[in-house]
C-alpha cells in the first residue's frame, strides 16, 4: 500500500503536520454555544470541527419506541456536505448510520437511563469539517453536551484514537495518516472507572502493537479528559467572574 507515497514520518521522527508520535492535535472545546438546543458543545481538533446538540429527556416520538423501564438514547451522526473535499451527499450514508450506533453504544453506559422511564434523549452531532478521528471527537463533544444538559451520568465519556503508520504506533491520526497508514484503533473511556465503552480496530496489528496502541489511546483520552472538564467548568466560572 505504502510504496507509492512519501514517508508519513520523516527522519527526525516527526509526522506530516510536525507532531511527535505521541502528540495530540490542538484541541479547543466550548460548551453551550447553541441556544436553541437544550445544551450543546463544540470541539475543534486541528482541522476537525464538530458540533453536538442535546434535547431531552422529553416525550419520545414515535411513542412505540418508548421503553417502560428506561430512557431511550438516540444519536445521529451526520457529516455536512461541505465537511470533506469531495461533496458528500447529505443523506445518511452507511458509514453515518454505523457511527450513530457506535456513538450511542459508547455513551449509553455513562448515563443513568433508568431514572426517567418512557422518555427519550436525542443527541445530534454535525461534522462541519472532517479530518480523521471524527467519531472520537464526536463522542467527546456529545458527552459534554449531555452533562451540561443536566442529565444524570456516571461519568463523562472521552474518546481518542491511536494507529500505526510507517511501522510506528502513533496517537490521534489525521485523515491522510488514517487513509495511508496501516491501522486505526479508536477507544472511548470513562476515565474515573477506567472502563472502555468503545474499542474498534481496522487494519492489521500484531498483539504487541495492538496493546501499545490501546495504551497510547487511553493515555490520549486521559489528556483530553482534563480539557473536557475544564471546558465544562469554564462556562460557569466565566459567569462568576463577570459578576464579581
CB of 146 to another protein, least distance (A): 9
The nearer residue to another protein, 83 or 110, going by C-beta atoms, is 110
**CA 206 centroid distance within chain:** 25
Binders of another protein among 126-155, rule CB under 8 A?
147-155
Binders of another protein among 225-244, rule CB under 8 A?
229, 232-233, 236-237, 239-240, 243-244
Binders of another protein among 73-102, rule CB under 8 A?
none
Interface map 103-122 toward another protein (x if CB under 8 A): -------x-x---xxxx---
Helix (H, G, I), strand (E, B) or coil at 113: helix
* Residue owning grid cell 490542538: 26
Query: Taking CB under 8 A as the rule, does residue 6 contact another protein?
Result: no
DSSP string, 22-43: TPPPPEEEEE---SSSSEEEEE
Interface map 197-226 toward another protein (x if CB under 8 A): ------------------------------
The strands making up 27-31's β-sheet, listed across from edge to edge, are: 27-31, 39-45, 48-59, 119-129, 72-79
d(CA 6, CA 111): 45
How far the first Cα of the chain sits from its last, in Å, is 60
Residues that bind another protein (CB under 8 A): 39, 56-59, 68, 110, 112, 116-119, 147-156, 190-193, 229, 232-233, 236-237, 239-240, 243-244
Amino acid at each position: 500500500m505504502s510504496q507509492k507515497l512519501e514517508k508519513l514520518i520523516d527522519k527526525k521522527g516527526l509526522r506530516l503536520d510536525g507532531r511527535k508520535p505521541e502528540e495530540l492535535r490542538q484541541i479547543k472545546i466550548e460548551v453551550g454555544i447553541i441556544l436553541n438546543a437544550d445544551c450543546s458543545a463544540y470541539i475543534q481538533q486541528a482541522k476537525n470541527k464538530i458540533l453536538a446538540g442535546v434535547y431531552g429527556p422529553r416525550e419520545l416520538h414515535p411513542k412505540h419506541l418508548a421503553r417502560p423501564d428506561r430512557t431511550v438514547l438516540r444519536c445521529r451522526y451526520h457529516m455536512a456536505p461541505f465537511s470533506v473535499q469531495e461533496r458528500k451527499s447529505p443523506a445518511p450514508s452507511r458509514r453515518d448510520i454505523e457511527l450513530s450506533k457506535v456513538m450511542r453504544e459508547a455513551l449509553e453506559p455513562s448515563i443513568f437511563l433508568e431514572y426517567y422511564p418512557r422518555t427519550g434523549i436525542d443527541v445530534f452531532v454535525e461534522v462541519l469539517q472532517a479530518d480523521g478521528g471524527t467519531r472520537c471527537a464526536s463522542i467527546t463533544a456529545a458527552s459534554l453536551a449531555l452533562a451540561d444538559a443536566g442529565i444524570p451520568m456516571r461519568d463523562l465519556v472521552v474518546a481518542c484514537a491511536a494507529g500505526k503508520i510507517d511501522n510506528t504506533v502513533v496517537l490521534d491520526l489525521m485523515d491522510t495518516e488514517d487513509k495511508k497508514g496501516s491501522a486505526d484503533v479508536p477507544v472511548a473511556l470513562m476515565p474515573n472507572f477506567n472502563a472502555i465503552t468503545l474499542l474498534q480496530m481496522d487494519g492489521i496489528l500484531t498483539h504487541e502493537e495492538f496493546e501499545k496502541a490501546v495504551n497510547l489511546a487511553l493515555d490520549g483520552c486521559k489528556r483530553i479528559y482534563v480539557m473536557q472538564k475544564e471546558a465544562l467548568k469554564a462556562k460557569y466560572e466565566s459567569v462568576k467572574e463577570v459578576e464579581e
